[in-house]
Amino acid sequence: MKPSLRAAVVAAVLAIPAALVPTAASAANTLSMRGADVSSLQRTLDLGGKYYNASGNAADPYDILKSAGVNYARLRIWNNPASGYNNKAKVLQQARAIKAKGLKLLIDFHYSDTWADPGKQFPPAAWASHSLPQLQNDVYNYTYDVCTALKAQGTTPDSVQVGNEINVGMLWPRGQVTNNNFAPLASLLKQGYNATKACSSATQVWVHVADADSMANMRWFYDGIKAQNVPWDVTALSYYCMWHGTLANLYNVITDARTRYGKPVVIAETAYQFTTADADNEPNSIPGTVLCDNIPATWAGQAQQFTWVQNTARNAGAVGVFYWEPTWYAIKGNGWDPADINGTGDGWDNMAVFDWNGRVNPHVRWTP
């Protein structure tokens, strides 16, 4: 890092509210899970995409991430996506590459054929007409099948997410939380937990929501599943500053979640833009002009924001931070829509930590 940039970053860190700056008392806490969601990476490699380290030399993308501090990789799994990617076969393939690099593995079950997030939780087509009891069996059997297949090839997942950003439930409408009734969702989460533990008792089960913006919403959800006696090992939150508020609020939500439920907390997703430009014809999911904390959309700015999120999480007692899709740079054929992967573009091209030629941002670091 250039001295001028180092000075600028130090000055910026000193400008963070004191509550967010790690103190000597909290320095003992470390981020033991330093993760990267690399779900789109296999498609990029299959299309001939290349990755380059900070020196501009072609290198294995996993090695580049490891050299930046990554020790955990996250893979989403869709049941039967039209793209043929992010399915069981591709996850098994990518899991072998991940474990061969000595990285830990997190499997993110969407329980869908496509994206599942707070605004949509569509069941897989094969399960669409199933009753709640049938869906309970589906969740158990599918989770167990994927986990045991991974285990059989020597890539047992270290962690499993039972659902992705399930703010108001999953497998709608059967598993949707309506009128504060968590019982249907709880019955599904329990099956995911039980299947994972039947496969591997050491695998951690995460429950993941995108509620880092609101302590009230976070409490509503986890209080709701706790009242239904849902077991889980890790409380997982998404935090994107442009959607989820200030770092001060993030600190408070993490601290409350950790102390209220007595479980480790992880930021399962975060990211920040490095440019205001767009590499393809697909509009950016987050425009480069939507900034946080007056941090510019530059390589240095992206690194600064990610460092601040890590510092905040660490100081609040979290145990991990995962960057979402750092390797998903714009390459034709790796579109966002599994039903039209060749015809759609990459809305994340300004949020990856690799530029449009595949060179890594030299300033981004995952730090304990």
pLDDT tens-digit series, residues 204-251: 999 999 999 999 999 999 999 999 999 999 999 999 999 999 999 999
Q: CA–CA separation, 219 vs 351, rounded Å?
A: 29
Note whether 113 and 122 are within 8 A (CB). yes
134, containing H or E segment: helix 132-152
Above 80 in pLDDT, residue 332?
yes
b/e string for 36-55 if b means 16 or more Cβ within 10 A?
bbbbbbbbbbeeebebbbee
173 upstream amide cis, omega within 30 of 0: yes
Above 50 in pLDDT, residue 98?
yes
Catalytic residue, candidates 165, 213, 278, 346: 165
Amino acid occupying residue 234: V
187, containing H or E segment: helix 183-199
321, containing H or E segment: strand 320-324
Above 70 in pLDDT, residue 180?
yes
Residues 71-93 pLDDT 10s: 999 999 999 999 999 999 999 99
- What are the two backbone dihedrals, phi and then psi, of residue 209, each rounded to the nearest 5 degrees? -130, 160
Burial of 200 (0-12, 13-18, 19+ CB in 10 A): middle
Residue 269 designated active-site: yes
Catalytic residue, candidates 269, 278, 349, 355: 269
Above 60 in pLDDT, residue 141?
yes
Q: What is the pTM of this model?
A: 0.92
Residue 282 designated active-site: no
Above 50 in pLDDT, residue 16?
no
